[in-house]
Structure 1
Amino acid sequence: MNQTTRLWGGRFRKPPDPRMMRLSSAASAHARLAPQDIAGGKAHAAELQRAGLLSQSEAETIVATLDAIANEVAAGTLLPSADDEDIHTFVERVLIARIGATGAKLRAGRSRNDQAANNLKLYLRQQARPLGAMLAELLEAIAAQSEVHAASVCPGFTHLQSAQPVTFGHWLMAHGQVLARDAGRLQDWEKRSGQSPLGAAALAGSAIALTPELSAKALGYDGPFENSVDAVGARDHVAEFLFVAAMLLTDLSRLAEEVTLWTSRQFGWVTLDDAFATGSSIMPQKKNPDIAEISRGRAARLTGDLVAMLGALKGLPLAYNRDLAEDKRAAFDAVDVLSEVLPAFAGLIASMEPHPAVMRAQAGTGFALATEVADYLARKGVPFAEAHEITGALVRYCEEMGRDLETIDPIELRAVDPRLDEGVKACLTLDAAVAARSGFGGTAPARVVEQIERFNAWLDGFKAWTGEGGR
């Protein structure tokens, strides 16, 4: 690598050692940021024209050449070389090779520090809405399955023990609600990442690029940086993006775990579509929920990316330090993982086949209707503490007799406690149990339908934000 292809070196007597350059260089790894680097270069060219350092003709030549470079990079016909230290070096090297001294003028008034900060922030902002569209597809699939099964009774669990009956649509929408909050976090992140760092230069601001608010507007930001030191030294927007990604995959991993359980022979609630499952190389009968399992694993990976970024930031002095270069590896990984997991999971949920009869058959097991007895007594004026004890005694009697609650006759009820009359029998059905939970947000089918309607209305707005439009 000779001195003319480096962005530094005038005060050095020796060329960089190859071992140092292997550690320092990352142009190929960061090649996906070429479009953002070029966009920043075009905005900066306009700044230099406003400052009088470039004529209109020179600025037009630079912009046209940068556009040509962008097209060739997109086509895969132009890539960084092994000698390019970073993406900035690559773009400047090619620009100067094509238009000579005019291209060399572009570096005035800017630094790799504000370029690096701008490139990744711009890249993540450009990824946020497409990722949101992928999440919206998954949320649509969850809502559609929930609508079909708004009244399909299934067991509800706490501690993975049968607790109370709910509807499968209500259970699915619990996952939909938490993922919707993740969608909101993505939107909130975009709002907080709206300040452009371009024009901050190395750390003090630029003595040449004096209208960064115009560069910010040209690049689609909400405005320019408030503080130049913060602009180049901050990466909390990267850490927050990684948190949103890790939280989203962590929440999705809980649904992944449940899908894995539901598709097991022991549960038998759901059959996966053949297109969204895999088989075994030795056991011909197997149908494995690999999408769910891979998603659980990727959630752990994104948690690691977040922790790595927070570790790099902890105790780091202002302004720029090369530790901050860790931001790109982690951010790229988060974008890649979400781009793979979200579409696959959306297809899995949309195509899976739930089995309401199987779920219903399991819903009343484990004395899941016991709470109905206690609630019945409470409505008759029995203090709930007593009602709880009476119901516990009834469950114990059923266990000893090998009976279910629904099969106990009135004489046996009164033998347990005189306040247990025949009226309780009307409460001891699955449909009565779910219908009784008719408060806002409850599992009563009518309430589930209302919940889905509100969810779909919100989802239309979220889809509009992503650029995909509503239903």
Structure 2
Amino acid sequence: MNQTTRLWGGRFRKPPDPRMMRLSSAAGAYSRLAPQDIAGGKAHAAELERAGLLSPDEMKLIVATLDAISGEFAAGTLLPGPEDEDIHTFIERVLVARIGATGAKLRAGRSRNDQAANNLKLYLREQSRLIGAMLAELLAALAGQAERHAASVCPGFTHLQSAQPVTFGHWLMAHGQALSRDATRLQDWDRRSTQSPLGAAALAGSAIALSPELSAKALGYDAPCENSVDAVGARDHVAEFLFVAAMLATNLSRLAEEVTLWTSRQFGWVVLDDAFATGSSIMPQKKNPDIAELSRGRAARLTGDLVAMLGALKGLPLAYNRDLAEDKRSAFDAVDVLGEVLPAFAGMIETMAARPEVMRAQAGAGFALATEVADYLARKGVPFAEAHEISGSLVRYCEEMGRELEHLDAVELSAIDPRLTEDVRACLTLDAAVAARSGFGGTAPARVAEQIARFRIWLAAFEDWTRGAQR
């Protein structure tokens, strides 16, 4: 690398050691930020024209050349080389090679510090909507399955033990609600990421670029950052993005775990489409839920990305330090992981075939209707603590006699407690149990259908946001 291809070095008496440059350089790894660097360069060229450092013709020449570089980069015909320390060096090197001293003027009034902060923020704002669009596909698939099974009774679990019957649609929508909060976290993150770092320069602000509010608007931000030191030294927006990604991956992992259980022979609730499962290299009968399992594993990586970013920030003094370069590694990994996991997951959920008859056959197991007895007694005026004891005695009797609650006759019921009259039997059915949970948010099929309808309205609005232009 020679002196003219570096953005620094005038005060140094020796060229950088190759070993140092191997650690310092990352143009190839960060080349995906070239479009953002070029966009920032065009906005800065307009700023330099306003400051009188570029003539209108020079500004137009720089913008036209940057557009040409952008097109060639997108086509894959122009890429960073080993001589480029970073993406900023790459763009400037090519610009100067093509238009000479005019291109060299673009560096005035800015720093790699505000460029680096701006590039990643622009990139993540774009990616937040792309990730949102992929998440919306998964949410639509969940809602579709939930609609088909709004009245399909299945076991509900606590502690992974049979608890009470619910509908499969209600259970699926529990995952949908959690993932919808991840969607709104993306939107919240975007609202907090609308300030531009450009104009902060190295840390103190620029003595040349004095209208950063105009550059901010040109790049789709709402305004420039209020404080130049904070603009280049802050990465909480990256840490927050990584939290949103890690939380999303964690919620996906919980659903993945359940899909893995549901598709097992022991559960048998769901059959995966052949296009979204794999087999075994030695056991020909196997059909494995690899998408679910891989997603669980990827969630651990995204948790690690978040912890790595928080660790890099902890105890870091203001303003800029090279530790902050870790932001890109973590952010790129999170974007790439979600870009792989979400489409595959959406396809798996959309095409899976639930087996309502199998779920229903298991729904009453483990005395899952015992709570119905306690509720029945409570409605008759029995204090619930006492009703709970009576229901427990009934379960104990069934265990000792090898009976099921719903098969007990009137004599057996009244022997446990005289207040257990014949009409309690009407409560001891799966359909009655789920229908009784008819309050807002309950598992009654009518309430589930209403929940899905509200969810569809919200999802349509979220899909509109994912299609929205960068602000």
TM-score, normalised with respect to structure 2: 0.99
1:333-348 matches, within 5 Å, as 333-348=333-348
CA contact (8 A) 1:111 1:202 kept: yes
1:102-134 deviation line (CA, Å, top 9, x unaligned) = 000000000000000000000001111111000
1:320-469 matches, within 5 Å, as 320-467=320-467
Amino acid paired to 2:17: D
SS for the counterpart of 2:366 is helix
CA contact (8 A) 1:133 1:468 kept: no
RMSD across aligned positions (CA): 0.8
1:59-89 deviation line (CA, Å, top 9, x unaligned) = 0000000000011111111111111100000
Amino acid paired to 1:345: F
Matched residue, 2:149: 149
Structure 1 residue 468 displacement after superposition: 7.7
Distance, in Å, in 2 between the alignment partners of 1:10 and 1:436 is 79
Distance, in Å, in 2 between the alignment partners of 1:468 and 1:267 is 42
Residue 272 (str. 1) matches residue 293 (str. 2): no
1:125-162 deviation line (CA, Å, top 9, x unaligned) = 11111110000000000000000000000000000000
1:50-449 matches, within 5 Å, as 50-449=50-449
CA contact (8 A) 1:256 1:296 kept: yes
Amino acid paired to 2:188: D
Distance, in Å, in 2 between the alignment partners of 1:98 and 1:439 is 70
1:310-350 deviation line (CA, Å, top 9, x unaligned) = 00000000000000000000000000011110010000000
> What are the ranges of 5 or more consecutive residues in structure 1 without an aligned counterpart?
none
Distance, in Å, in 2 between the alignment partners of 1:170 and 1:456 is 14
SS for the counterpart of 1:365 is coil
1:400-419 deviation line (CA, Å, top 9, x unaligned) = 10000011110111111111
Distance, in Å, in 1 between the alignment partners of 2:305 and 2:414 is 61
Amino acid paired to 1:341: V
Matched residue, 1:26: 26
Distance, in Å, in 2 between the alignment partners of 1:31 and 1:407 is 69
The list of structure 1 runs, each at least 4 consecutive aligned residues, that deviate by more than 6 angstroms after superposition, is: none
Matched residue, 1:10: 10
Distance, in Å, in 2 between the alignment partners of 1:81 and 1:408 is 80
Distance, in Å, in 2 between the alignment partners of 1:93 and 1:25 is 15
Moved more, 256-265 or 122-131: 122-131
Moved more, 459-468 or 328-337: 459-468
TM-score, normalised with respect to structure 1: 0.99
Distance, in Å, in 2 between the alignment partners of 1:468 and 1:92 is 31
Distance, in Å, in 1 between the alignment partners of 2:415 and 2:406 is 16
1:380-426 deviation line (CA, Å, top 9, x unaligned) = 01111110011101110111100000111101111111111111000
SS for the counterpart of 2:164 is strand
SS for the counterpart of 1:68 is helix
Distance, in Å, in 2 between the alignment partners of 1:98 and 1:33 is 21
> What are the ranges of 5 or more consecutive residues in structure 2 without an aligned counterpart?
none
Amino acid paired to 2:267: F
1:296-323 deviation line (CA, Å, top 9, x unaligned) = 0000000000000000000000000000
